[in-house]
Amino acid sequence: MMDVRRLRLLLELTRRGTITAVADAFAYTPSAVSQQLAVLEREAGVPLLERAGRTVTLTPAGTVLARYAESVVAVLEEASAALAATRGSLSGPLRIGAFPTAARTVLPAALVELGRDHPALELMVTELDPVAVPGALRARALDVALTAAYDYVPAEPDPALDTEPLLEETVYLATADPGRTSVGDWRDAPWIAGGPDTQCHTMLVRTCQACGFTPRIRHYADDFATVLALVAAGQGVSLVPQLGAAGAPSAVTLTPVTSRRRTSIAYRKGTRDHPVVSAFAGAIHRSAAST
């Protein structure tokens, strides 16, 4: 009988590509991951991995097993959700991931509701960029998360996860000059962007490229309040989604652009009917509707 924990390691190897990356995701050592995968090979009775130096790839048998592992893990999640539904009340940890603007705006009211209605729940929030959400959910560091995608940065589908729409936002061009309201008007200006590995950075670069130029980025800031303060100080221009534009300084002009940001609730496949995930989804939908 193959161990489901080892199947999860095999799945992560197909997604992350290296033993080291899998080890980082699960807080293991690379040698521990290698040992567990070696045990899985013995359980399977056929070679699952091909090793060439530091490179590891799946054999045809490994690819077949990984495909079945997706279904096995999803069914086990469904079973866990069904068992949890037989309990009389909600209790235990609920690990929630959210990107900064969602954590500051739509999430607090949902946390208040959950804490009031389910006091035995242990609510645990982690702030992270949407690009980190899939890995954190698959590694079970999170139970549910708020994630986002822009028109120019669509979310890559993940077979291990399900999502549902939450809200849609306008994206604004933020400037200190009300006379220039087109992204193309600022092709020669300095720009303010999120960190290079963030979704917001990619969105800004691709939006500008769609307008025929590559932005000259001078400042990097991941907090939109900081971005808007820099814009107000004449340090450059930026693109800011609606939730991040709340409370913009009076010196900043906000002009809608065609791009949109769409926020979704994400969770592992098979967990939507888990009582704590359902409770969170209901609370966050109600909070978003009143935002």
- Say if strands 190-193 and 216-220 run parallel, antiparallel, or are unpaired: parallel
Q: What is the mean pLDDT of residues 251-260?
A: 95
Q: What is the mean pLDDT of residues 102-111?
A: 97
Cβ atoms of residues 204 and 171 within 8 Å? no
Q: What is the mean pLDDT of residues 205-230?
A: 97
CA distances from 246 to 30, 96, 181 (A): 44, 23, 19
pLDDT of 55 strictly over 90: no
Cβ atoms of residues 147 and 263 within 8 Å? yes
Residue with tokens 């969105």: 203
Helices (H) and strands (E) in the chain, counts: 11, 10
Q: What is the pLDDT of residue 256?
A: 96
Q: What is the pLDDT of residue 201?
A: 96
In the chain, what are the domains? 4-84 (1.10.10.10), 92-160+263-289 (3.40.190.10), 169-260 (3.40.190.10)
Per mean pLDDT, which range of 69-73, 215-219, 261-265 is the poorest? 69-73
First to last CA, the chain: 50
Tell me the percentage of the chain whose pLDDT exceeds 70. 99
Tell me the pLDDT band of 82, cut-offs 50, 70 and 90.
confident
**For residue 153, what is the DSSP state?**
B
- For the segment 16-37, what is each residue's pLDDT rounded down to a tens digit? 888 888 888 888 888 898 889 8
Cβ atoms of residues 236 and 75 within 8 Å? no
Q: What is the pLDDT of residue 147?
A: 96
Q: What is the pLDDT of residue 291?
A: 81
- For the segment 114-151, what is each residue's pLDDT rounded down to a tens digit? 999 999 999 999 999 999 999 899 888 999 999 999 99
Tell me the pLDDT band of 5, cut-offs 50, 70 and 90.
confident
Tell me the pLDDT band of 15, cut-offs 50, 70 and 90.
confident
pLDDT of 81 strictly over 90: no
* Closest C-alpha among 284, 123, 252 to residue 244: 252
Q: How far apart are CA 238 and CA 235, in angstroms?
A: 10
